[in-house]
Structure 1
């Protein structure tokens, strides 16, 4: 199964004990995936997703004592929609009444229901992307406000006539899983994030070391070219003693870094002093050119 399916499977087992949270989660499901059957006038879900259907059935049983294996009639549907404060049609284009979202736990439940109905998360090994597809801009804005209320960076984009609430930052997707109480999936995502960060850190260090080695090698090649030019056109014996000593050392140790070269001098010299002398040699070479 995909990571998104794993998250939903975990959420399907997460059922709030409080009726007010059950109502909030049902509102999130119905407002994104519910519909009224034209023939029976009964409430049903517009989905074939078994996880969602099972979660919906569990919540309806807990909150209303309703058996969703039987078609709901118009009267029962009216009572349920009234409890959920859904008063207009179509039911899947409504926003949740603020009275359903008064408590933090109810906000979590509503987001969980919305995600179960119309959400997805990409495989974190490939990319970080969390989204919930809404029918209306008002639905998307409400979800965005709820998610941002938990300090996530949720944004909205319009896509093919729908409004998508999405999160791209890995840490904020972890937060969204925490909001929905998908703790097992949260730990899996965190493990992936840690491994990816470790790999990125190693790659950065390797690239940095490679760049430094390349820089050192290129500098040494240039220094040797300058010294060979001086040797050919002027002779090293004509140089001041300190520069002559440095030139001979560089020719003898063409791959040595500056700090190592300084250790061969008598008395030893630091990296900056060695660099200063080599710069003087380069200046002489430039004059000869």
Structure 2
């Protein structure tokens, strides 16, 4: 089961005790995946909710039955495009009952169907949470957190998507909208905000799983950063040591190490004998002991002498 399916499965088992919260959740589901059948006069005949998720279908059925105490029918059909998938249809065939649902969810304005989020439906924080939960069940998905952080709601209605964004952002989120083909996609990409949204929707089990994955991911990244940093330092140290040995070798072949001042000759010979030693380790081998900066200064002087000898030789040959 994908992480997205786990989240939906958990949310589908959450049935709010308060009727007003159940109404908010039903309103979100109808807004996104509800189909309202009307006659030529615009009168509501029936209501159908369509989903490919069995857990979501069961929740829709339960919410409608528990909230409105009405007759609800459910049917299962095969998806002709995806043979392994099924489409679940939840029907309210009685026109009066369908009309009642639309009135209570405030999706009927002046006797006309209007897919919007009524402020009356989301007056309280708990109802806002319920609405977002319903919208995610109907149109949301979340990527595998081991790969990337991405949560989105997909909608065909621009108006409803904008209203949903505003609703989500009342919880101090930074949700944004992008147009993808003919769909409006509301999305979050920050891991901490996705965690917060799971908390808002009350998907606490999924939240803990995501948090654990985030901690492990962060630990791995920190270890990789440390290893990369240490590797870079080692490479830098090795490269510097190779250059120092080349300069010392050039001096030895031209004027001889004995021509160097005593302090430079001693560090040069120590470097030859201890090619893998760090500057600090070289300093410890001197008598008296010299600090890292002092060793570095002496080796730089040797490098300058080598460069000067090379320059003089080139001028001589020219």
TM-score by length of structure 2 reads 0.87
Answer with 253-262 or 63-72: which moved more: 63-72
Structure 2 residue aligned with 1:68? 72
For the structure 1 residues 182 and 118, does the alpha-carbon distance in structure 2 shift closer, same or farther, using more than 3 Å as the test? same
Structure 2 residue aligned with 1:58? 62
Answer with 150-159 or 241-250: which moved more: 150-159
1:221 deviates by: 0.2
Structure 2 residue aligned with 1:219? 240
- Map 1:138-153 onto structure 2 (within 5 A): 138-153=159-174
Q: Please tell me whether the aligned partners of residues 216 and 257 of structure 1 are also in contact (alpha carbons under 8 angstroms).
A: yes
Determine whether 1:42 maps to 2:46: yes
Structure 2 residue aligned with 1:32? 32
Q: Aligned-pair RMSD on alpha carbons? A: 1.6
Q: Please tell me whether the aligned partners of residues 262 and 274 of structure 1 are also in contact (alpha carbons under 8 angstroms).
A: yes
Q: In structure 1, how many angstroms separate the alpha carbons of the residues matched to 2:291 and 2:93? A: 86
For the structure 1 residues 16 and 71, does the alpha-carbon distance in structure 2 shift closer, same or farther, using more than 3 Å as the test? closer
1:238 deviates by: 1.1
Answer with 96-105 or 35-44: which moved more: 35-44
Structure 2 residue aligned with 1:162? 183
Determine whether 1:86 maps to 2:90: no
Q: Secondary structure at the match of 2:17?
A: coil
Structure 1 residue aligned with 2:211? 190
TM-score by length of structure 1 reads 0.96
Q: Please tell me whether the aligned partners of residues 217 and 255 of structure 1 are also in contact (alpha carbons under 8 angstroms).
A: yes
Q: Which has the higher helix share?
A: 1
Determine whether 1:112 maps to 2:133: yes
Q: Please tell me whether the aligned partners of residues 115 and 132 of structure 1 are also in contact (alpha carbons under 8 angstroms).
A: yes
Determine whether 1:201 maps to 2:222: yes
Query: Which blocks of at least 5 consecutive residues in structure 2 are unaligned?
Result: 74-90, 311-318
Query: Which blocks of at least 5 consecutive residues in structure 1 are unaligned?
Result: none
Aligned length: 288
Q: In structure 1, how many angstroms separate the alpha carbons of the residues matched to 2:275 and 2:51? A: 72
Q: Secondary structure at the match of 1:46?
A: strand
Q: Which has the higher strand share?
A: 2
1:157-192 deviations in Å (ceiling 9; x for gaps):
001111000111111111110010000000111111
1:90 deviates by: 8.6
Q: In structure 1, how many angstroms separate the alpha carbons of the residues matched to 2:14 and 2:168? A: 19
Q: In structure 2, how many angstroms separate the alpha carbons of the residues matched to 1:221 and 1:197? A: 36
Structure 1 residue aligned with 2:76? none
Q: Secondary structure at the match of 2:153?
A: strand
Runs of 4+ aligned residues of structure 1 deviating over 6 Å after TM superposition are none
Q: In structure 1, how many angstroms separate the alpha carbons of the residues matched to 2:7 and 2:287? A: 68
Answer with 177-186 or 141-150: which moved more: 141-150
